[in-house]
């Protein structure tokens, strides 16, 4: 483990700590923010957040963890590659596939498949999540972008933070939404009663905004398009439950009784748009609905 220490001078007082640590260009801001998040950075022996503003005399320490040997194995799993070049790869992920290894899912993930498909993935997110810029849930299908080098990774992360990416989802929800358009602006945080779930809360939460448009209504369901302005964990699932229209098939946030023939939430990442990290070209990709959602819509239209 490499260790570094600085004492803040008057000239650098009031700088954000993530900016302070990237002044000499040795490390990227994304990398520094990850170290701060993982408690590898301390100020006066105390944990801080990336927006902490340093003061004269502050003693900053950074412990850079040793590079771990890669324990994730490459697996020959077919991938639906929508686009690929030297910087980025866009995948249409099937329902049921976990994005990256985690307790209980060390194989069969998108990362395992990507490591077989291409060896050049960015290393910013470490050995478990190489190349992963954003995630979609296991039982959500659709488009996900992956960075093939650190420069591309930083660019895509910055676009997500600046809210300049385009992410449209198609979903089937319980109930009939009475208006054509709507916006849910409600902060999301960890549920105190169930640490595996997220909820709308003011406590230890982050801003979350979802825009939705009604595409089609049925007797007991509504087919909607949701656009993410932010990207919080389970955001669409939590927000639609919050306004009284939980996703059909959602085992965590929906009704316990299964009413439609679908495994997992009826949610599909249908459109993904971003600026190419190297050329700046505006790129937009679309993925058709998976067969199970198409079948559900056909059934609902025939009732």
What is the pLDDT at residue 40? Answer: 92
Mean of the pLDDT values across residues 278-298?
96
CB 277 within 8 A of CB 131: no
Picking from 72-86, 96-110, 284-298, which range would have the lowest pLDDT averaged per residue?
96-110
DSSP 179-234: SSEEEEE--EEEETTEEEEEEE-STTEE--EEEEEEEEE-SSEEEEEEEESS--TT
Q: Report, in this order, helix, strand and coil percent for the chain, each rounded to 5.
A: 20, 30, 50
What is the pLDDT at residue 5? Answer: 92
Q: Give me the active site residues, please.
A: 137
**DSSP H or E run through 161:** helix 150-161
Mean of the pLDDT values across residues 214-224?
97
What is the pLDDT at residue 256? Answer: 85
Q: What is the dihedral of CA 187, 232, 17, 124, to 10 degrees?
A: 180
Q: Is 270 helix (H, G, I), strand (E, B) or coil?
A: strand
Give pLDDT tens digits for 149-181.
Answer: 888 998 999 999 899 999 999 999 999 999 999
What is the pLDDT at residue 124? Answer: 62
Please give the share of the chain, as a percent, with pLDDT higher than 90: 67
pTM exceeds cut of 0.95: no
Q: Which of 230, 146, 145 is nearest to 183 (CA)?
A: 230
Q: For 72, which DSSP code?
A: P
Token pair, residue 76, equals: 């020959």
Q: How many helices (H) and strands (E) does the chain have?
A: 6, 16
Residue 70 has pLDDT above 50, yes or no: no
What is the pLDDT at residue 73? Answer: 81
Residue 296 has pLDDT above 90, yes or no: yes
- Other beta carbons within 10 angstroms of residue 294's beta carbon come to 12
Residue 67 has pLDDT above 70, yes or no: no
What is the pLDDT at residue 69? Answer: 47
**Higher pLDDT, residue 172 or 64:** 172
Most confident of 26-35, 217-226, 258-267: 217-226
What is the pLDDT at residue 78? Answer: 94
What structural domains and CATH numbers belong to the chain?
A: 2-64 (3.10.290.10), 70-161 (3.30.2350.10), 163-303 (3.30.2350.10)
What is the pLDDT at residue 65? Answer: 76
What is the pLDDT at residue 131? Answer: 78
What is the pLDDT at residue 133? Answer: 87
Averaged pLDDT of the chain: 90
Mean of the pLDDT values across residues 253-257?
89
Give pLDDT tens digits for 95-125.
Answer: 999 888 776 667 888 988 988 888 777 766 6
Q: Are strands 282-286 and 267-275 parallel, antiparallel or unpaired?
A: antiparallel
Residue 262 forms beta bridges with which residues? none
What is the pLDDT at residue 192? Answer: 86
Mean of the pLDDT values across residues 222-241?
96
């Amino acid at each position: 483990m490499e260790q570094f220490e600085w004492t803040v001078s008057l000239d650098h007082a009031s700088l954000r700590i993530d900016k302070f640590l990237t002044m000499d260009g040795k490390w990227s801001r994304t990398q520094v923010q990850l170290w701060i998040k993982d408690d590898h950075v301390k100020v006066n022996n105390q944990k801080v957040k990336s927006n902490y503003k340093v003061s004269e005399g502050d003693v900053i320490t950074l412990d850079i963890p040793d590079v771990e040997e890669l324990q994730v194995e490459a697996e020959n799993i077919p991938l639906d590659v929508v686009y690929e070049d030297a910087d980025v790869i866009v995948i249409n992920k099937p329902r049921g596939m976990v994005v990256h290894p985690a307790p209980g899912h060390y194989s069969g993930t998108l990362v395992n498949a990507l490591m077989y498909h291409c060896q050049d993935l960015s290393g910013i997110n470490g050995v478990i999540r190489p190349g992963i810029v954003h995630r979609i849930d296991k039982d959500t299908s659709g488009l996900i972008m992956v960075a093939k080098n650190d420069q591309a990774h930083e660019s895509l992360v910055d676009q997500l933070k600046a809210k300049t990416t385009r992410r449209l989802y198609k979903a089937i929800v319980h109930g009939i939404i009475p208006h054509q358009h709507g916006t849910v602006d409600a902060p999301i945080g960890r549920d105190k009663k169930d640490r595996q779930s997220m909820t709308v809360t003011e406590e230890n939460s982050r801003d979350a905004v979802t825009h939705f448009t009604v595409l089609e209504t049925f007797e007991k369901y509504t087919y909607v398009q949701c656009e993410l302005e932010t990207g919080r964990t389970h955001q669409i699932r939590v927000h639609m439950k919050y306004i009284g229209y939980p996703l059909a098939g959602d085992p965590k946030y929906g009704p316990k009784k299964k009413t439609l023939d679908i495994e997992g939430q009826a949610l599909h990442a249908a459109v993904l748009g971003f600026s190419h990290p190297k050329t700046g070209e505006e790129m937009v990709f679309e993925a058709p609905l998976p067969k199970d959602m198409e079948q559900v819509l056909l059934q609902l239209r025939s009732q």
